Amino acid sequence: MIAALAYSVCALALVSMGWGLVTAVLDKPPGKAQLLYAAGLEVVVLVQSVIALVRLGAGFRPVELATTIGYLVGIVVLLPVAWFWANSERTRFSGVVLAVAAAAVAAMTFRLLVLWVAR
């Protein structure tokens, strides 16, 4: 984990969450820019997980190794699944679905950062 990258992921994810809630309040399905933004967020999340897993492979041992690995892998699937679920019925609630996934990405990244302390 890189602190600056993790905080960036949190910030980007919170924007995605807010965006999803705004379109839900406005009673609109997510627009193209919004979906592209979510895809971009997923790329950054992927990069973060790969970097962290490489560091684990190189011998870094955080306090809770199993939990950390679970989070690093689990966080990657959230946005793609939410993307599919949000697009299979496009209503205002698609934005809520994206917001839920983005909130989880932010929370998990923050938790990963807290766990990323050498044993």
Binding site for other proteins (CB under 8 A): 66-67, 70, 74, 77-78, 81-82, 85-86, 89, 91, 93-94, 96-97, 100-101, 104
CB of 78 to other proteins, least distance (A): 7
Q: Which is nearer to other proteins, 1 or 108 (CB)?
A: 108
CA separation for the pair 31, 44 (Å, rounded):
20
CA separation for the pair 115, 63 (Å, rounded):
6
Q: Which is nearer to other proteins, 1 or 96 (CB)?
A: 96
62 DSSP β-pair partners: 118
CB of 95 to other proteins, least distance (A): 9
Exposed, middle or buried by CB within 10 Å (0-12, 13-18, 19+), for 91?
middle
Q: Which is nearer to other proteins, 60 or 93 (CB)?
A: 93
Residues 6+ apart with CB under 8 A from 84: none
What tokens appear for 5 in the block? 């990258």
CB of 18 to other proteins, least distance (A): 16
Q: Which is nearer to other proteins, 9 or 86 (CB)?
A: 86
CB of 4 to other proteins, least distance (A): 26
3-class secondary structure, 2: coil
